[in-house]
């Protein structure tokens, strides 16, 4: 039986989950995959944590050199996170010819080209299923199951923390701040939640997924990014009355005008398949030219779901001799012939406060009309001599909306409180 030695760098949530799965399923993998996967060593500064997981003391390495020099280690699993030590250790492993499996989306989004160059040079495998959408096998799906298709779009809820927060706000009517505190208390959000709530985490994932889906390098710096920190209960409530639910969406599209990649809160019709993806769950909706629509749903984080993706990569690496790398020129910068669409089209939700006086609505719609913006839905709530107007537009362009909003503000006609996109 084929024997494969694994080293795990970092035994936090993901590394710990990986260790548990490998230990608990060792016999199952021997029976079903004919592969004997042995954890040969771990690198974990907190020895007590490693020992508590059941790692024998002699398997706790003191440094990365012990691991990369160990001939019994074939696969190095990186679960440290961040881009400092993790990058050095991954490169050390690849340069030593070890296959690397990682859950590190930031490392991949920023340095995939360098890692791949090292992997190719040293005939090492490079696997990253766990970097995007945790336990949902979206990367293998794009690489294998959907490889026959030209993918035109990929729309997803790919950050569980923000989905949990927005679901709490929607279902319980609580504020962003309250929902965030609940998410921190439950361990969904980090004490510093910036990466999740400002959309960086989703932008890293979208950069990786779009590069794979569209066969061209999509740097994360090209992703339009807006987080959820400005979302108010009023927006969620007003959107709900119009038949929408708010989600932090990642949208990737390949259009004749170029590649469009964006992460921002967006209203979806309540009947949209992604609208019912609640709590910390994730889902990705892919459109291929032959297959049509495919949707994957599941847990995007957590020790066992993310461990599941890592261990599946380990098994894949252990059972496939041929090495595969990306299907596009993987360089730091995108191909110079590829255009990125920044003035994208969308529906828009505008919430504004106006004076409740005759003719205000006509003047506001005139400003929108001059910007070429057509109104689809409108609702009004009057309170004293002020009114809250909620306008949903037909498809229009980002720049047109921004210009119209600044004109409305400058004219003194309306105080625009919120601008959110609506998926049409």
Q: Which residues are the active-site residues?
A: 205
Q: Which helix (H) or strand (E) holds 200?
A: helix 200-214
Give the pair of three-digit tokens for residue 40: 């040969």
Contact flag: residue 301 with ligand HSE (CB under 6 A): yes
- Tell me how far, at minimum, the Cβ of 8 lies from ligand HSE, in Å: 17
| Backbone dihedral angles phi then psi of residue 67, each to the nearest 5 degrees | -75, -50
Nearer to ligand HSE, 251 or 405 (CB): 251
Nearer to ligand HSE, 16 or 300 (CB): 300
CA distance 273 to 423: 12
- Tell me how far, at minimum, the Cβ of 312 lies from ligand HSE, in Å: 16
Stretch that binds ligand HSE, among 121-129, 153-161, 236-244, 354-362 (CB under 6 A): 153-161
Nearer to ligand HSE, 15 or 160 (CB): 160
Nearer to ligand HSE, 160 or 265 (CB): 160
Stretch that binds ligand HSE, among 154-162, 236-244, 313-321, 326-334 (CB under 6 A): 154-162
Contact flag: residue 308 with ligand HSE (CB under 6 A): no
- Tell me how far, at minimum, the Cβ of 166 lies from ligand HSE, in Å: 12
Stretch that binds ligand HSE, among 48-56, 157-165, 333-341, 344-352 (CB under 6 A): 157-165
Binds ligand HSE by CB under 6 A, chosen from 41, 99, 153, 159:
159
- Tell me how far, at minimum, the Cβ of 262 lies from ligand HSE, in Å: 17
Contact flag: residue 161 with ligand HSE (CB under 6 A): yes
Nearer to ligand HSE, 60 or 155 (CB): 155
CA distance 405 to 279: 32
- Tell me how far, at minimum, the Cβ of 160 lies from ligand HSE, in Å: 4
Across the beta sheet with 126-127, what order do the strands follow? 35-43, 2-9, 75-78, 99-102, 126-127
Contact flag: residue 160 with ligand HSE (CB under 6 A): yes
Q: How far is CA 157 from CA 93, 135, 165, 287, in A?
A: 33, 14, 13, 15
Task: Report CA Rg, the chain.
Answer: 24
Contacts of 32 by beta carbon, 8 Å cutoff, 6+ apart: none
- Tell me how far, at minimum, the Cβ of 217 lies from ligand HSE, in Å: 21
Picking from 247, 182, 163, the residue whose alpha carbon sits closest to that of residue 420 is 247
Q: Which residues of 80-91 are buried (b: 16+ CB within 10 A; e: fewer)?
A: bbebeebbebbb
User: Under rule CB under 6 A, which residues in 173-212 are in contact with ligand HSE?
Assistant: 196, 201
Q: Which residues of 92-120 are buried (b: 16+ CB within 10 A; e: fewer)?
A: bbbebebbbbbbbbbbbbbbbbbbbbbbe
CA distance 394 to 407: 19
User: Under rule CB under 6 A, which residues in 271-300 are in contact with ligand HSE?
Assistant: 300
Asked if residues 346 and 395 have their Cβ atoms less than 8 Å apart, the reply is yes
Q: Which helix (H) or strand (E) holds 375?
A: strand 375-383
Site string for ligand HSE, 108-147 (x = CB under 6 A): ----------------------------------------
| # binding residues, ligand HSE (CB under 6 A) | 7
Contacts of 59 by beta carbon, 8 Å cutoff, 6+ apart: 39, 40, 41, 42
Contact flag: residue 40 with ligand HSE (CB under 6 A): no
List residues near ligand HSE by CB under 6 A: 159-161, 196, 201, 300-301
């Amino acid at each position: 039986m084929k024997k494969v030695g694994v080293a795990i760098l970092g035994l936090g949530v993901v590394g710990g989950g990986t260790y548990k799965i490998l230990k608990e399923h060792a016999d199952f993998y021997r029976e079903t995959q004919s592969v004997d996967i042995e954890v040969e060593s771990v690198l974990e500064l907190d020895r007590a944590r490693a020992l508590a997981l059941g790692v024998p003391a002699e398997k706790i390495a003191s440094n990365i050199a012990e691991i990369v020099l160990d001939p019994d280690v074939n696969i190095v699993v990186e679960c440290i996170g961040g881009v400092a030590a993790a990058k050095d250790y991954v490169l050390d492993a690849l340069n030593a010819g070890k296959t690397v499996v990682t859950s590190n989306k930031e490392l991949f989004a920023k340095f995939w080209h360098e890692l791949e160059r090292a992997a190719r040079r040293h005939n090492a495998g490079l696997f990253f299923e766990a970097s995007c959408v945790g336990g949902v096998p979206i990367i293998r799906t794009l690489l294998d199951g959907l490889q026959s298709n030209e993918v035109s779009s990929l729309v997803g809820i790919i950050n569980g923390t923000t989905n949990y927060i927005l679901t709490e706000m929607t279902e319980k009517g609580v504020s962003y701040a309250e929902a965030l505190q609940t998410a921190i208390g439950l361990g969904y959000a980090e004490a510093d939640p910036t990466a999740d709530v400002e959309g960086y985490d989703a932008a890293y994932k979208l950069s990786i997924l779009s590069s794979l889906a569209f066969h061209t390098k999509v740097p994360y710096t090209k992703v339009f990014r807006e987080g959820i920190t400005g979302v108010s209960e009023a927006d969620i409530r007003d959107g709900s009355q119009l038949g929408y639910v708010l989600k932090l969406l990642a949208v990737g599209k390949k259009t004749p005008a170029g590649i469009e990649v964006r992460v921002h809160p967006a209203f979806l019709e309540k009947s949209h398949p992604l609208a019912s993806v609640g709590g910390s769950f994730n889902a990705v909706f892919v459109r291929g030219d032959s297959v049509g629509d495919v949707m994957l749903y599941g847990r995007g984080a957590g020790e066992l779901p993310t461990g599941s993706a890592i261990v599946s990569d380990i098994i894949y690496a252990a059972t496939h001799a041929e090495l595969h790398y990306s299907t596009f020129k993987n360089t730091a910068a995108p191909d110079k012939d590829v255009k990125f669409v920044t003035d994208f089209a969308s529906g828009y939700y505008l919430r504004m406060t106006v004076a409740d006086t005759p003719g205000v609505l006509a003047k506001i719609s005139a400003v929108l009309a001059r910007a070429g913006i057509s109104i689809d839905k409108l609702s009004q709530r009057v309170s004293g001599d002020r009114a809250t107007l909620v306008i949903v537009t037909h498809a229009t362009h980002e720049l047109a909306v921004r210009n119209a909003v600044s004109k409305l503000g400058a004219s003194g006609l309306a105080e625009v409180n919120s601008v959110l996109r609506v998926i049409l």
